[in-house]
Chains A and B, each alone.
Chain A
Amino acid sequence: MASIVSMADIEATAKGLGIDLSAVNLDSITLPPGEDFGIKSDDDEDLYHEEALEQEAGFGNVIVVDNLPVIPLEKFEKLEGVIRKIYGQIGTIREGGFWMPVNPETKKTLGYCFIEYNTSQDAKSAKENTNGYKLDKSHIFAVNLFDEIEKYMKIPDEWTPAEIKPYAPGENLHKWLTDEKARDQFVIRAGPFTEVFWNDPRQMMPELVYRRQYWTESFVQWSPLGTYLATVHRQGAAIWGGASTFNRLMRFAHPQVKLIDFSPGEKYIVTYSSHEPSNPREKHWVLLNFFDLRTGKLMRDFRGNADDFVSGSSTVTGVSWPVFRWGGGREDKFFARLGKNVISVYETETFTLIDKKSLKVENVADFTWSPTDPIIACFVPELGGGNQPARVSLIQVPSKEEMRQKNLFNVSDIQMYWQNNGEYLAVKVDRHTKTKKSTTTGFELFRIKERDIPIEVLELENKNDKIVAFAWEPKGHRFAIIHGDGPRPDISFYSMRTAQNAGRVSKLATLKSKQANALYWSPAGRFVLLAGLKGFNGQLEFYNVDELETMATGEHFMATYIEWDPTGRYCATSVTSVHEMENGFHIWSFNGKLLYRIPKDQFYQFLWRPRPPSLLSPEKEEEISKNLKKYSKKYEAEDQDVSLQLSEQDRKKRKMIQEEWDQWVAQWKKLHEEEQQLRLTLRDGEASDEEEEYEAKEVECEEVIDVTEEIVDSDEDQD
């Protein structure tokens, strides 16, 4: 290729050679044939070469249909007709675009043919639609694109084992569980910072683990077992973890991701984005991606109309998250989605529907998974103006067998609450009266683990009481209900089994008129925090359900969010930025002692880092709780040491501050005395400072205001 020459250079060269450029007739110059001096002409074929390839040279619109019946020549036309009929439906077959080769020796077809379409799209859809087409029992079509044949030819005949990468041990992602002081971590977001802290109740303050500015663009979320911390960005989600700090472990590309959800066993992560239409002709569509958490591989995506994904019980305003609900406990085996008249249950081995079809439940309105077992509880509302009763049924997965069902009448709404061991299911049933003017509430209690799943009906003493909150005791058999109207509702505790009454629900206690609207059970059970959030300004009451007594009351003014730490030792209350003022969090001990307060402006999130379940066997746990005194000795001694050390430090610090101050004051006093004379002159010799003495004189003044004379009648005195 000739180098590019500018006009100025040409003129200079011409001058050097003694040629007057203007005198040269450029048109008269002819090049020798075939010589182009390395300059490509515009009309050269080569320039269009690449485009031509796409148009003609490719066989992208040719498919190869294999596994055709081998037939003699006389049946050729008949078969051609059949094949043309099948493939003609998909797209127009090009003229002369059908070729079925014939073995010249046997005069029979070879059992395959070539079909050429007008476009490669047709060819692709023909491949997708007819691959595996059953002509008859022994002839199942194998359809491939002609272009791909070459690719398949390249596959070596002999199998060679894949190269195995040497194992590089990763960091211990569970390092935080081995903390010597057995502390728990939490993450907070305030202002632009996201920070992870140790909760250190001994020091009465948190200890920073990791801090990062703009770590996430919307929120953070721990994985259910606490191994990972997920951050959300415009490009997708990321998970972080590590032994001592937080490193990025994996990224999951999903532009404009809005919500994320982990599977309970941390095997998968689901990301969700919603794409609002920019003009009215477009549809509002959503995208959900399932990723393998460890490899980052996209396992399956669901794409569809927003309306399809927000159907069912969800509100009009948005999607009810999670769209896909995980079931079957920590094995992450199943997930399900509510559809119109169906519940679509998928399994994670293939990420397809179980038995290739959804579970048909006419008019299903809501469903929940048992937290531990592959059991679905679903609710079908009343139909036909009450002619067909509402129904709650329990369905086993993957067998799809109905385990139990209960018909309910006059139902207006239903809420389902699972106990977290999957032992009990409470169904809150709102019934309306015939006139539909008022509603009453009752509970249907299912004992899942007992034979035939007995159901018990629980009605409150006052049926008209509104139910404000309901909560099961974690790992336990008790539950609490806040019920009643008005600003001071009652709180009742019930047990599914008591010593006298093994198989029946019985009431333990009712607390009258409490300022509470939310229940927070300790994750270890036994203690419950009765909280009055929002309208009740953050009233807190720590209640011991074993002893049925209040341990302590407190207040975190305007508290919006409450969370127990995963061990049930501490409880955090926080005011997030929904309020302008008071932002920050308080840490309480389980028995209601305020340990420390941290104010933070623009406080968005507080999340305890979850812990995986204990590896101790139930027997061992029992043994420990029996001999608690023995084990706790060591910790008590440590506590003592720390508190001694702290008070010593504190004392020293105070002393230092005081000394500093005294020094400053002494210095000032000196100056002050030096200036005393000057001050005296400023005041014209009046005693200048506080050391001046003045005596307080008490002066009594008598002032005669008025004098009147009166004659007193003396007769009355004589009686």
Chain B
Amino acid sequence: MRPILMKGHERPLTFLKYNREGDLLFSCAKDHNPTVWFADNGDRLGVYRGHNGAVWCCDVSRDSRRLITGSADQTVKLWDVQSGTQLYSFNFDSPARAVEFSVGDKLAVITTDPFMGQTSTIQVKRISRDPNEQVGDSILTIKGPQGRINRAVWGPLNKTIISAGEDSVIRLWDSETGQLLKESDKETGHQKTVASLVKSSDGSHFLTGSLDKSAKLWDSRTLTLIKTYVTERPVNACAISPLLDHVVIGGGQDASAVTRTDHRAGKFEAKFFHKILEEEIGGVKGHFGPINALAFNPDGRSFSSGGEDGYIRLHHFDSDYFTIKM
């Protein structure tokens, strides 16, 4: 498996997202320019210029027309995927962290960081079909959790919002009323900051990666813990294979400690685990910094990883990957 090295970002990667068809890969980095690539050969297709701060997260609509990006410049922007023009900009009082379109792409959930005395929030915006009719009002604002909320995603049928962040608790909110429905158990749940959260392709379960060196699989409806995958390194990113019963988790030691150690010490590996048996299958090395972002192609035949080193590595699986016996 020879990875395709995609050099385009000048700063550490923060997020990767495939569109539904799996032909485009959107990448966010701490440089200000979200980028779109051909998911097959890694050619750079274009850059969305307009942000003035690190871009933390993005999502693409089901029809691959709209891109939403959340940035530390305190804005969330809507883009036209094809032309790269900015359609709308939501302004906030603090950096935006996570964004996601709902099922049907009519709503978007956005989280903002605690900033200058403001607490973190989860906000829901209505997304209009016609960008000219777009308004910036939030239809719901949830406050409560302490610290940064690193991810917020929609639950089944947009009825709930699942959030996770620095306080290491995973929460289930009612997306209509903003009521807190459920919290993950302190004992069995994560012990440190949850850095990433990713849903399975059907939305039935989701995987969280935490700095407590583990990743956990949860039921989206009941928030019950299903599986735990333990590694030796803080987990910054994780992804669920849509094809096989595999999950991949990546991470590495703190970026601030990287320069002091050997690249092998950092364990900057993307580790594959069997989703059901919780056993380690193997690892993909390559990055020379922690892995910050991971994404599976929706067809499950390739995946990409983005690192603190500023590179995206696109891996097309060899045929023997599909015949691994456990």
Contact = CB atoms under 8 A, between A and B. Distances in A.
Contacts of B226: 664
Residue in A558, A658, A682, A690 with the greatest tally of chain B CB atoms within 10 Å: A682
Nearest to A555: B264
5 contacts: A558-B265, A654-B277, A668-B202, A671-B221, A679-B103
Contact of B277 (A537, A657, A689): A657
Contacts of A683: 62, 103-104
Contacts of A678: 157
B232 A581 contact: yes
List of 7 A-B pairs having minimum Cβ-Cβ separation, nearest first = A682-B104, A668-B204, A683-B104, A661-B276, A682-B103, A678-B157, A675-B157
B84 interface: no
A672 B202 contact: yes
A599 interface: yes
Contacts of A657: 276-277
Contacts of B233: 581
A537 B104 contact: no
Contacts of B261: 581
A413 interface: no
B302 interface: no
Interface in B73-110: 102-104, 106
B104 A684 contact: yes
A557 interface: yes
Contact of A557 (B62, B158, B264): B264
Interface residues of A, number: 24
Interface in B221-278: 221, 226, 232-233, 253, 261-262, 264-265, 267, 276-277
Contact of B232 (A582, A665, A675, A689): A582
Contacts of A654: 277, 326
B206 to A, nearest CB: 12
Contact of B265 (A582, A658, A684): A582
B265 A581 contact: yes
Contacts of B277: 654, 657-658
A302 to B, nearest CB: 44
Nearest to B221: A671
B264 A537 contact: yes
B156 A675 contact: yes
Contact of B204 (A537, A582, A672, A679): A672
Given A689-B202, A690-B201, A658 B232 contact: no
A664 B204 CA distance: 10
Nearest to A664: B226
Interface string A658-670: 1001001100100
B54 to A, nearest CB: 27
Interface size class of B (residues with CB under 8 A): 20 to 34
Nearest to A579: B265
Interface of B: 62, 102-104, 106, 156-158, 201-202, 204-205, 219, 221, 226, 232-233, 253, 261-262, 264-265, 267, 276-277, 326
A557 B276 contact: no
Contacts of A668: 202, 204-205
A537 B156 contact: no
Contacts of B276: 657-658, 661
Interface in A32-53: none
A599 B103 contact: no
Given A558-B265, A686-B62, 12 more contacts: A537-B262, A537-B264, A581-B232, A581-B233, A581-B261, A654-B277, A658-B277, A664-B219, A668-B205, A679-B103, A682-B104, A689-B202
A683 B104 CA distance: 4
Contacts of A661: 276
B265 A557 contact: yes
A676 to B, nearest CB: 10
A690 B262 CA distance: 44
A403 to B, nearest CB: 50
Contacts of B219: 664
B300 to A, nearest CB: 12
Contact of B158 (A599, A671, A682, A686): A682
A684 B104 CA distance: 7
Contacts of A658: 276-277
Interface in A682-703: 682-684, 686, 689-690
B253 A679 contact: no
A679 B104 CA distance: 8
A635 to B, nearest CB: 29
A675 B157 CA distance: 8
Contacts of B104: 682-684
Contacts of B264: 537, 557
A672 B157 CA distance: 10
A557 B263 CA distance: 11
B29 to A, nearest CB: 26
A27 to B, nearest CB: 77
Interface string A640-669: 000000000000001001100100110010
A661 B276 CA distance: 7
A679 B326 CA distance: 35
B253 A581 contact: yes
Interface in A350-395: none
Nearest to B261: A581
A672 B277 CA distance: 24
A45 to B, nearest CB: 73
A679 B157 contact: yes
A144 B283 CA distance: 83
Contacts of A689: 202
A693 B84 CA distance: 29
Contacts of B262: 537
A679 B262 CA distance: 50
Contacts of A599: 232
A691 to B, nearest CB: 11
B227 to A, nearest CB: 9
A658 B275 CA distance: 10
Contacts of A581: 232-233, 253, 261, 265, 267
A682 B157 contact: yes
A686 B20 CA distance: 14
Nearest to A662: B276
A406 B102 CA distance: 88
Contacts of B221: 671
B281 to A, nearest CB: 14
A684 B61 CA distance: 14
Contacts of B106: 682
A671 B204 CA distance: 10
A557 B221 CA distance: 42
A690 B62 contact: no
Contacts of A682: 102-104, 106, 157-158
Contacts of B265: 557-558, 581-582
B115 to A, nearest CB: 31
A521 B19 CA distance: 58
